[in-house]
Structure 1
Amino acid sequence: MDASLWDRITGTQSDPQEWVVIAAGVLALAAIVPHAVWRLSRNAITIAHEGGHGLVALLMGRRLDGIRLHSDTSGLTVSRGKPTGLGMVLTAAAGYTAPPLLGLGGAALLGEGHITLLLWLATALLIVMLVMIRNAYGVLTVVVTGGTFLLVSWLTGPQVQAAFAYVVVWFLLLGGVRPAFELQSKRRRGGAGDSDADQLARLTHVPAAMWFFFFHAVSLCSLLGGGRWLLGL
């Protein structure tokens, strides 16, 4: 890799002004709170969710057969390996925790001024994930998302890159909170009987309610810690 390009990726950039950070958070909320907008923007959370399942499955030595993303913002990650044990538990637990933890990691990078590095890492992860996508809608979703990161990384100036990066990280932190509450609501209405929480309950003999508590604890603590980094507290 060219030395100047490497320096550009790994170097630090100036923090944006405080109003940009706050405006980015407001914009992220605007993509999460209204139901009509959330039906579209939730696709990005699904990418992170299924990507989390897939990454942990590989790290646990499981064989990843493929990932499917659907237009209703649901998804499916299929892996092969031992059907019980720690590897399967961590793989199942990785979905709902992946978006907020990715947001927390992104906030840590932004807190150190690594805006360009964040954008390139996100692009690289999306390219790797694209190889494992097994349906047309999933390919379209990941290509559009990855293309957006790539275009912002290559064609825009530092101020636009910074604003975009802060919107993305705020979105992961804030958007990572909502899905677990939505799943709980759906289960109360008799749906989602084979959710991640139910699978974890069968694997560990720990009630699904405790796994929901775990999902909420991870997302809310990530939001609190990541928000403090983003706001420079």
Structure 2
Amino acid sequence: MINTVIHESGHALMALLGGDIHEISLFVNTEGVTYTSHSSWFGGFFTSLAGYIFSSAMAFLGFWLLAKGKNKVYIGILLGFIGLNLIFWVRNFYGIFWLITFGISFILLLIKSKKVVVETVILSLASIILVESVTSAFDIMALSFMHPQAAGDATNLAKSTVIIPVQVWGVFFFVQSIWWGVLSYRMGL
């Protein structure tokens, strides 16, 4: 679910630049949806583009911060996203429950845990986010070929760009996730 929170937050943050965020819903099956409206084509385009790229970049950020010894900064950033979502955007019961539960867990981690525990949790979270960013991008790529009308952000982008088919957007999301994954791996070397 943490990758979904980051993915949907990426959509929301981009929507803030040229539109409105109405609501984010988080679901028990780890899916999520961000409802936005935009005043321009560019706003809708970049909002649709943002989710997968943002979650891949956030995985890399976790590895980078860990390599730099900024162990608690990543937890602080994740807490910031949890707080933003809880205060402004998420309104469904499961989403609120998940955000509160993980928010409390992260706060306790920062207050009560030793450095090695924090490092292990950060490594685990960054790894989970990285793996989920790649697998969810792969899923969208596969959907773009098998069910192009049901490929989420790739379908939205294909409708926005008209001349670029949904499959190209699906492949793009997968390739960018692999690129961020390689950068994350190199950060750990």
TM-score, length of structure 1 as denominator length = 0.74
How do 1:43-62 and structure 2 match up within 5 A? 43-58=1-16, 60-62=17-19
Which residue among 165, 169, 177 is the counterpart of 1:207? Answer: 165
Q: Secondary structure at the match of 1:71?
A: coil
Query: CA contact under 8 A between 1:183 and 1:192: conserved in structure 2?
Result: no
Deviation track 1:32-66 (CA, whole Å, cap 9, x = no partner) reads xxxxxxxxxxx2221111111111111x2311111
Query: CA contact under 8 A between 1:200 and 1:211: conserved in structure 2?
Result: yes
TM-score, length of structure 2 as denominator length = 0.91
Which residue among 110, 117, 127 is the counterpart of 2:73? Answer: 117
How do 1:75-224 and structure 2 match up within 5 A? 75-82=32-39, 84-131=40-87, 132-186=89-143, 188-190=145-147, 193=150, 195-205=152-162, 206-224=164-182
Residue identity in the other structure for 2:66: L
Residue identity in the other structure for 1:97: I
Long gaps (5+) in structure 2: none
Q: Looking at both structures, which has the greater relative contact order when contacts are Cα pairs under 8 Å and sequence separation is at least 6?
A: 1
Long gaps (5+) in structure 1: 1-42
Partner of 1:25: none
User: Moved runs in structure 1, 4+ residues, more than 6 A?
Assistant: none
Q: Secondary structure at the match of 1:98?
A: helix
Query: CA contact under 8 A between 2:144 and 2:155: conserved in structure 1?
Result: no
Identity over the aligned pairs, expressed in percent?
Answer: 26
Partner of 1:40: none
For residues 121 and 180 of structure 1, what CA distance do their matches in structure 2 show?
23
1:187, distance to aligned residue in structure 2 (A): 5.0
How do 1:32-71 and structure 2 match up within 5 A? 43-58=1-16, 60-71=17-28
Deviation track 1:108-161 (CA, whole Å, cap 9, x = no partner) reads 222211001111121122111112101111101111222221111111011101
CA-atom RMSD, angstroms? Answer: 1.7
User: Which is higher, the Rg of structure 1 or of structure 2?
Assistant: 1
1:209, distance to aligned residue in structure 2 (A): 1.2
Aligned residues: 187
